[in-house]
Amino acid sequence: MRCKRYQMWEAVSCGADLLIPLSRPSITEAERAAVLEVLDSGQLANGPRALTFADRVALRAGGDPWGGVATSSGTAALALALKVLRIPAGSEIITSAYGFCATPAVIEHHECRPVFVDCLRSGLIDPDAVRRAVTRSTSSVLGADLYGSLCDWHRIREVVPPSVQLIADSCEALGAERDGGAIMTHPVDAATFGHFPNKQICAAEGGVLLVRDIGVAERARCLTSHGRDGVRVVEPGFNYRMSELHAALGLAQLDRFQELQQRRSEIAHWYTAHLPACVRPLPTDPGRSWFVYVVTCDRPAVEVVRELEARGVQARRYFPPLTYEPAWCHVREAFPMAAHLGTHAVALPFFPDLTTDQQRAVIEALAEVVADGRPGSSAA
C-alpha cells in the first residue's frame, strides 16, 4: 500500500506518461556553474549572494535595493510583509476570491480575516469590488498580480481610505509594468516575489520582500534570521532565510531575464495565433511579464485538463476558485467572475525551452479536446 506522502506527490507530479510538462525551468551551464561555485566555497548560507539577489530583484521591480529582503519562499515574504507592516491581528484584509491559496493562507496565519472580493476578466482583483468591501475594520488590501500582470493599484489607492495599506503579492509578476512603471512605482506599501521553479526567475525555492522604509527592511532582514541583529536576539524571529545555493541559481537566472522573457513572449504569441477558434486566451496587457499561458473555453476546465493529460499534455486548472476549497468553503458570498474563471481557466504547457513541435502537439491535442466536447464546434 502506498503511503499518504507518496500519494500527495503523485497527485501533483506530471506522471510518467505525460510527454509535455506544464512547466520546466531553463537551466544552462551558467546556472550549474553558479551553484557549484557555492558548493565549493563552503558558505552555503548567510552569505553575500542572497543580499545581492534581493538588491537585483528590487531594482528590476523599480524599488530601492535597501528595501529588498531575500526569503526562503514567496509565502515567507508575504507573511513577513504582514508582520513588518504591523497589520493588526483581528483586522480585515481584502483579497481576491481568485488566486493562489498562499495569499489568503498568510492572512489567516496572521490572525486576520480574509474578505474575499471578485476579480475582473483578467483574473486581477476588481478595484470597484474592493471599494464596496471596505469597512472600519479594513487594515489592508492584499492583491495578487496574477499571470505577470499588475493590478490597478492606482485605482485601488483611490478607493480605499489613506490608512489602508496596500500589499502587492507580485509572486507571479517579476518584471511586469503597468502604465510604464514597475510595481514599486505604484502606490503599494510592499511587494513580494516568488522564485519557485515555474516562475519568471527560478531559484528552486525563494522569495523577496520589498518595502519602502529602510528601517522596516532592516527589521524584516533581522526577522528572517531568528530575530538576531548579528549579536543579540532583538525579537522572536523566524528562519525565512534564502540559502546561498538558491540565491546563486536565482542570480544566474536574473542574468538571463531578457532572454527568458523574450522566449516566453514568443511562445505566448505563437499559441495565441494558433488557438482553436472556440478557445480564448485571457486578456493581456502590454506590460505583462510572461509567466503562464491561460485559456478559457466552453468546456469545464476539469474535463479539458483530464483529456489533455490523457493525450500526454500536462495542464492545470488555473486557479480553482478559492472559496470552493474546503479551507474557505464556509464563505457564502458568490463571486461570479472568480467562479467562471475557476471553472473554465486552463494553463497550457509554458516554459522557455518549449519547442515549436511541442507547441504544435499541445494545440493539436487541445483542438481534439474542444471538438470532442462540443460536436460541430470549430477546432481548426
Ligand X SMILES: Cc1ncc(COP(=O)(O)O)c(C=O)c1O
Instruction: Give the dihedral sign, CA 253/258/263/269.
Output: positive
Stretch 304-323 residues interacting with ligand X (CB under 6 A) = none
| Nearest-approach distance from CB 94 to ligand X, in angstroms | 16
- Options 207, 250, 342, 352; binder of ligand X; rule CB under 6 A: 207
- Contact between 23 and 351 under an 8 Å Cβ cutoff? The reply is yes
- Whether the bond into 319 is cis, omega within 30 of 0: yes
Considering only CA atoms, which of 162, 133, 143, 139 is closest in space to residue 90?
139
Residue 224: alpha-carbon gap to chain centroid: 21
Place of cell 474542444: 370
- Options 25, 67, 127, 194; binder of ligand X; rule CB under 6 A: 194
Strands 177-178 and 181-182, sheet pairing? antiparallel
Query: Of the ranges 43-51, 111-119, 165-173, 239-247, which one interacts with ligand X (CB under 6 A)?
Result: 165-173
**How many whole angstroms separate alpha carbon 23 and alpha carbon 349?**
6
Considering only CA atoms, which of 55, 53, 99 is closest in space to residue 78?
99
Query: Of the ranges 151-159, 164-172, 232-240, 344-352, which one interacts with ligand X (CB under 6 A)?
Result: 164-172
Place of cell 526569503: 71
Considering only CA atoms, which of 93, 159, 162 is closest in space to residue 127?
159
Residue 99 touches ligand X, criterion: CB under 6 A: yes
Considering beta carbons, is residue 80 or 366 the nearer one to ligand X?
A: 80
Considering beta carbons, is residue 169 or 177 the nearer one to ligand X?
A: 169
Query: Of the ranges 49-57, 83-91, 99-107, 280-288, which one interacts with ligand X (CB under 6 A)?
Result: 99-107
| Nearest-approach distance from CB 145 to ligand X, in angstroms | 8
SS3 category, 280: strand
- Contact between 208 and 58 under an 8 Å Cβ cutoff? The reply is yes
Length of the chain: 380
Helix 102-109 vs helix 74-84: angle between axes, to the nearest 10 degrees? 40
Residue 289 touches ligand X, criterion: CB under 6 A: no
Query: Of the ranges 94-102, 114-122, 174-182, 328-336, which one interacts with ligand X (CB under 6 A)?
Result: 94-102
| Nearest-approach distance from CB 331 to ligand X, in angstroms | 19
| Nearest-approach distance from CB 203 to ligand X, in angstroms | 9
Considering beta carbons, is residue 153 or 196 the nearer one to ligand X?
A: 196
**How many whole angstroms separate alpha carbon 338 and alpha carbon 123?**
7
Residue 349 touches ligand X, criterion: CB under 6 A: no
**How many whole angstroms separate alpha carbon 50 and alpha carbon 251?**
9
Q: Which residue is nearest to ligand X (CB)?
A: 74
Residue 118 touches ligand X, criterion: CB under 6 A: no
Residue 316: alpha-carbon gap to chain centroid: 15
| Nearest-approach distance from CB 99 to ligand X, in angstroms | 6
- Contact between 294 and 147 under an 8 Å Cβ cutoff? The reply is yes
- Options 53, 98, 100, 290; binder of ligand X; rule CB under 6 A: 100
Considering beta carbons, is residue 240 or 271 the nearer one to ligand X?
A: 240
- Cell reading at 132: 464596496
Considering beta carbons, is residue 23 or 165 the nearer one to ligand X?
A: 23
Sequence-ordered list of residues with C-beta below 8 angstroms from that of 256, at least 6 positions apart, any chain: 26, 28, 30
Residue 98 touches ligand X, criterion: CB under 6 A: no
Considering beta carbons, is residue 240 or 379 the nearer one to ligand X?
A: 240
- Options 54, 125, 144, 267; binder of ligand X; rule CB under 6 A: 144
Stretch 22-81 residues interacting with ligand X (CB under 6 A) = 73-75
| Nearest-approach distance from CB 221 to ligand X, in angstroms | 18
| Nearest-approach distance from CB 162 to ligand X, in angstroms | 26
| Nearest-approach distance from CB 21 to ligand X, in angstroms | 16
Q: Please give the size of the binding site for ligand X, defined by CB under 6 A.
A: 14
Residues that bind ligand X (CB under 6 A): 73-75, 99-100, 102-103, 144, 169, 171-172, 194, 196, 207
